[in-house]
Amino acid sequence: MSVRLFFATDVHGSEVCWRKFINSAKHYEADVLILGGDMTGKAIVPIVDEGAGNWQYTMQDVPHTLRSEDEVVANERLIADHGYYPIRMTHDQVQDLTAHPEKLDELFEREMRGTIEHWVQFADERLAGTKIQCIVCPGNDDADDIDEILATSKTMTVGEGNVIDLPDGYQLVSSGWTNLTPWDTPREEDEPALKSRILSVVAQATAAPERLVLGLHAPPFDTQLDVAPKIDWESLTVKGQDTAHVGSTAVKEVIKEVQPLLALHGHIHESRAAERIGRTLAINPGSSYVEGTLSGVVVELDGKSKVKRYRLTMG
């Protein structure tokens, strides 16, 4: 009996991408939905009260003036679709935050939690009564506290640090932690610690390697899955056309040692690719969340020991 998985990753707070992810099971006729890491957004867009029913915000360097409540609501959705958190504010509040950036942490935490709660509710409504298995795993950009919110879901399972049974005897081992990045994100660590973390979860798996799926947010180092623009870590600027391999050596070592059937990765949005590492098929479907498109991959497992077929998708 073959099993069809749909894997997407790095939705980064995009409301439209989350909705597409939940709806993708029906669209692709998938048995299992897996969301790789980085679920939360990166920025807050203040919608500023200009008085007399007018509001103003700037997104992607374009200023927008809104003249009615309906327009504000519609634009809040547009901002959310882009992966940002829209918050209505007064000028004073914006100036306060500008002057006191330390207050942003609390604001981000509130918005991220609120969005995840809303997403859980949406998923539970859509997936209730279906036989679709849905696993979500936060990534390096996601704060720790969203795991507990995700765990309240009646239809989704949290992948981080867990071994999850999939249909037909397959198992999924997931971790959203990555190797070190220039941005000091919540879930990153050095390679030895990362390898230790991953192996400790893999050790709990009971499935044979040919029935094992690894969902590791960091892609394996020095492959087609981890090519990113080369960045100066101090100034966070890109060096022309230079690219660099930024994946994890720990992840690559684990894949080489364990040789699972399938390895699913994200983290590097530009590196949409698939590559074999020994007998393991490693895939990074990339991410196009900024344009509201859900990049993903449909993988069919043959019920025995092979990947029957896979195709990268852009929905």
Partner 1 sequence: MATNAGTQPPAEQTLFVRKASGLIKGWSEGDGFRYSFFSVNLFLAIWSISYATFIPGGSLFWSIVITAAFIVLEIIVYAGLISAMPRAGGDYVWQTRIFHSAVGFVICAVGWWFILWLWTPIYADMGVQTTVKPIFRILGLNGAADWLGSRTGIFVASLVVIAIASILVAVGMKAYAKFQKWAMWIGLAGVLVCGILLLVTSGNSFKEKFNAAADKYYGGDKGMLNLQKYKTDASGLFVYDDAGALVNDGTQQYPGAFEATEAIGAGTGMPTSTFAGGFSWATWTLIPFMLFWMAWPNWGATLYGEVRGAKDFRKNVYQMLGGLLVPTAISLAFLGLMTWKVGYQAFMGTMAAFWWGISPIGGDYISPTAMISWIVPNAAFQVILVGAISLLLFGWFGTLFLSSTRMIFASAFDRILPESAARVTSGGVPVVALVLMTIPSIIMAALYAYTPIDEGTGVTVVKLFTYDATLAIIIMFLGSALAFMVMRWRAKAIWDSSSLPKGGIAGIPWMSIIAAVYSAFLVFNLYLFIKDAIYGVNNSKSAIFMAVLYVAALVIWLSAWVTRKRQGMELETVAKEIPVE
As given in the structure block, the two tokens for residue 232 are: 């100066």
User: Which span (87-95, 147-155, 166-174, 253-261) binds partner 1, by CB under 8 A?
Assistant: 87-95
> Taking the complex as a whole, how short is the minimal distance between the CB of residue 240 and partner 1, in angstroms?
4
Cα separation, 198 vs 174, whole angstroms: 8
**Percent helix, strand and coil across the chain, each rounded to 5?**
30, 35, 35
Residue 7 binds partner 1, judged by CB under 8 A: no
* Shorter beta-carbon distance to partner 1: residue 166 or 246: 246
Residue 82 binds partner 1, judged by CB under 8 A: yes
Which ranges of the chain does DSSP label H, i.e. alpha helix? 15-28, 69-81, 91-99, 104-127, 146-150, 191-202, 249-258
One residue of 3, 11, 28, 138 binding partner 1 per CB under 8 A: 28
> Taking the complex as a whole, how short is the minimal distance between the CB of residue 173 and partner 1, in angstroms?
22
Cα separation, 115 vs 33, whole angstroms: 20
Number of residues that bind partner 1 (CB under 8 A): 80
Residue 67 binds partner 1, judged by CB under 8 A: no
* Shorter beta-carbon distance to partner 1: residue 107 or 199: 107
* Footprint of partner 1 on 217-276 (CB under 8 A): 224, 229, 231, 235-243, 267, 269-270, 272-275
Pairing state of beta strands 295-301 and 3-8? antiparallel
Tokens 């999850």 sit on residue:
164
Residue 119 binds partner 1, judged by CB under 8 A: no
Pairing state of beta strands 32-35 and 133-136? parallel
* Footprint of partner 1 on 147-186 (CB under 8 A): 181-186
* Footprint of partner 1 on 33-62 (CB under 8 A): 38, 42-46, 48, 57-62
CA angle 287, 285, 281 (to 5 degrees): 160
One residue of 67, 68, 96, 154 binding partner 1 per CB under 8 A: 96
One residue of 97, 132, 163, 193 binding partner 1 per CB under 8 A: 97
CA 190 to chain centroid, in Å, comes to 20
